[in-house]
Amino acid sequence: MNTYTNQHDLLCFSHLRWNFVFQRPQHLMSRFANNRRVFFIEEPLYEAKTCEYVRHTVCERTGVNVLTPMLAADSASRNVRRVLESYLESQELNDPIVWFYSPMWLDSFPENIRASAIVYDCMDELSLFKDAPSNLSSNETRLFRMADLVFTGGVSLFEHKQHLHPRVYPFPSGVDVAHFAQARVICQEPEVQAAIPHPRLGFAGVIDERMDLPLIAEAAKQRPDWQFVMIGPVVKIQRSILPRANNLHWLGMQDYRDLPAFFAGWDVAIMPFAINDSTRFISPTKTPEFLSAGLPVVSTPVRDVVRPYGELGLARIASSADEFVSAISEAMAFTMGMKWRERADAFLKTMSWDAVWSSMDQLVGEVLDSRRARPEAGGHMLGEVARV
């Protein structure tokens, strides 16, 4: 355990909202909140009717402080900075560690914060996503100059970024094995799914431009006797473009706590990702979650799924709709023996979120120990550095 544990608050600047799909930022910040104050700062909402302010809520399950700048509809980025500066000053921050998920926060970052360490957790190549801001790449270049540590959300993203900073570390997303392993023993499934016939093929995650909608439509057409259960919020694409068929079920976003109950009623887990720029460097968190639930997995050839899961025989890889249907048929015909589960479970033991958090925590501690050994180095005055 690092000596800095209770000496530093943590400010996390995220492009994802706390109450969105429970994923990497939520898992990590929940664990950091066990021994420090964590402030999770969301992008602003432009809904303030009178005065602009910061809405402060506390997540009951984790203790994470969620801050949302509430601004007027015509407000500018300088107003985000202003309300955050004022609010964070009132919190009397203790030598904060500053943690970025999006370089776009540099445009409105509070100028009165002196950071004891700066971490950039680059979970995705955001510049390749739909509607990415035009200055995202230049902001990321600035953030690389500021950061003490850079983490990446997968191995392929690490290979893409490692030359940009002297301390880049790959951290593929972890998994809460015990949570999803409940699917192996749960008997009662959610009402919204209970009436759907078998066999059921399921996906759970964000449904956006990374989904191969034509592949889903063609697979559903080829096998009208199969039921495709699609769980997750639809973002950045119109719901009207989702393929429709009697055996396609778009169930929307579901609570993280309920996912094992959904998984318990599936026969195969599918990951029908499009192979395009937006998926070039993704490392889907769903892969280990599905395996923890005891489900066979069929995926399109996303690099961080092919390697290691496909190479280890823990996921079937299929490129076309025909191959996808064939792989699902094989997965349903395959009797999952104990040896397969033992191999999957042994691999998953190395991927817990606790282990990911602990390794990151150790690296942050080393940065802080190094800075304490060199008092003249001081901290980062981020308002000054961010303008470089």
Amino acid identity, residue 3? T
Structure tokens, 117:
């360490």
Same domain assignment for residues 150 and 189: no
The pLDDT of residue 386 is 52
Least confident range of 3-17, 149-163, 250-264, 297-311: 3-17
Same domain assignment for residues 233 and 161: no
Q: Is residue 48 in some structural domain?
A: yes
Structure tokens, 139:
């902001």
Same domain assignment for residues 144 and 28: yes
Structure tokens, 245:
């068929």
Condensed to tens digits (0 to 9), the pLDDT of residues 24-34 reads 999 999 999 99
Q: Is residue 2 in some structural domain?
A: no
Which residues, listed in sequence order, are joined to residue 66 by a DSSP beta bridge? 40, 57
Do residues 355 and 88 lie in contact, with contact meaning Cβ atoms separated by under 8 Å?
Answer: no
Same domain assignment for residues 28 and 165: yes
The pLDDT of residue 164 is 94
pTM of the complete model:
0.90
Same domain assignment for residues 126 and 36: yes
Domain of 186, in residue numbers: 177-349
3-state secondary structure (DSSP) of residue 207: strand
In this predicted structure, the answer to whether residue 369 has a pLDDT above a threshold of 60 is: yes
In this predicted structure, the answer to whether residue 388 has a pLDDT above a threshold of 70 is: no
Burial class of residue 326 (count of CB atoms within 10 Å of its CB; 0-12, 13-18, 19+)? middle
Same domain assignment for residues 77 and 158: yes
Q: Is residue 55 in some structural domain?
A: yes
Same domain assignment for residues 14 and 110: yes
Same domain assignment for residues 211 and 334: yes
Contacts of 339 (CB under 8 A, 6+ apart): none
pLDDT band (50, 70, 90) for residue 264: very high
Count other C-beta atoms under 10 Å from residue 152's C-beta: 25
Same domain assignment for residues 186 and 325: yes
**Which of the 8 DSSP states describes residue 234?**
B
Q: Is residue 255 in some structural domain?
A: yes
User: What is the C-alpha to C-alpha distance for residues 301 and 378, in angstroms, rounded to an integer?
Assistant: 46
Share of the chain above pLDDT 70, in %: 93
The total number of structural domains that make up the chain = 2
The pLDDT of residue 343 is 86
Share of the chain above pLDDT 90, in %: 80
Please report the sign of the dihedral spanned by the C-alpha atoms of residue 268, residue 274, residue 280, residue 281.
negative
Same domain assignment for residues 163 and 264: no
User: What is the C-alpha to C-alpha distance for residues 118 and 376, in angstroms, rounded to an integer?
Assistant: 17
Q: Is residue 43 in some structural domain?
A: yes
Least confident range of 99-108, 218-227, 308-317, 376-385: 376-385
Q: Is residue 332 in some structural domain?
A: yes
Please report the sign of the dihedral spanned by the C-alpha atoms of residue 30, residue 31, residue 36, residue 39.
negative
User: What is the C-alpha to C-alpha distance for residues 184 and 155, in angstroms, rounded to an integer?
Assistant: 29
Contacts of 94 (CB under 8 A, 6+ apart): 7, 8, 9, 37
**Residue 322: closest CA among 187, 219, 182:** 219
Q: Is residue 222 in some structural domain?
A: yes
Same domain assignment for residues 340 and 206: yes
The CATH number of residue 53's host domain is 3.40.50.2000
Same domain assignment for residues 56 and 77: yes
Q: Is residue 4 in some structural domain?
A: no
User: What is the C-alpha to C-alpha distance for residues 84 and 108, in angstroms, rounded to an integer?
Assistant: 9
Amino acid identity, residue 252? G
